Structure formats: C-alpha cells, structure tokens
Structure 1
Amino acid sequence: MTYAILSVGGLLGLGTHLIAVPFASLQVVDKQMRLPGATRESLSALPEFRYASP
C-alpha cells in the first residue's frame, strides 16, 4: 500500500508532526488534496510518522 506523509498541527511550522495516511483515501477537489471525513483533531490524534534512520 502507498502512503502520503502529511504535516499536521502547529502554527507556522512550529509544533507540527508527520502522519501517514493511505494515498487512496485522498481526493482531488478543485485542484486541492482533501481527506474526506478528517478533522484537525482526528489527524492530530494519529501516531507520529518517523522516517527510518540510516
């Protein structure tokens, strides 16, 4: 499965964290990517995604 990595939370890049969501769940609406049914609270509650260390 392919995932999209999104930055959520925070203000002006401070206090943000990365999350992974299935790419197939994203939709393009008026040239914008949307995640139907998602709220800021539900996205912020998802576990943080961390890239693997080399």
Structure 2
Amino acid sequence: MIRLLRQMFAVPEEIRITGVIYLPWRPGDAITSQLLRDLPTARIEAAINQRLLAMK
C-alpha cells in the first residue's frame, strides 16, 4: 500500500508518494533494499499525476 499527499501549492499541482506499507506474502518475511528499489514509485506518481492533469 502507498500513502499519497496532494501538493496543492506546487505548479502544476501534483501527487507525491509519502509512505509505503509493505505486506509480505508470508508473515515475518524481511524487506530488503532491493525490494524497495524495485518499487516503480516514479511511474506510479507519473500515472497518477497524468490522470489528475487530464481531469482538469
């Protein structure tokens, strides 16, 4: 899961990812730095912001 925050004072207005909640497939599995690097956070932000811009 990701936490999002709307940057209302940015020009143009945008959404930023401010948090990540990792739920492993098996309880107790460790999260590694490689798993975090593999998250496509920039692509997620870009897709959300593209939809936000299209709505305006």
With the shorter chain as reference, the TM-score category is: under 0.3
Greater per-residue strand proportion: 1
Name the structure, 1 or 2, with higher relative contact order (CA <8 Å, separation 6+). 1
TM-score scaled by length of structure 1 = 0.27
Greater per-residue helix proportion: 2
TM-score scaled by length of structure 2 = 0.27
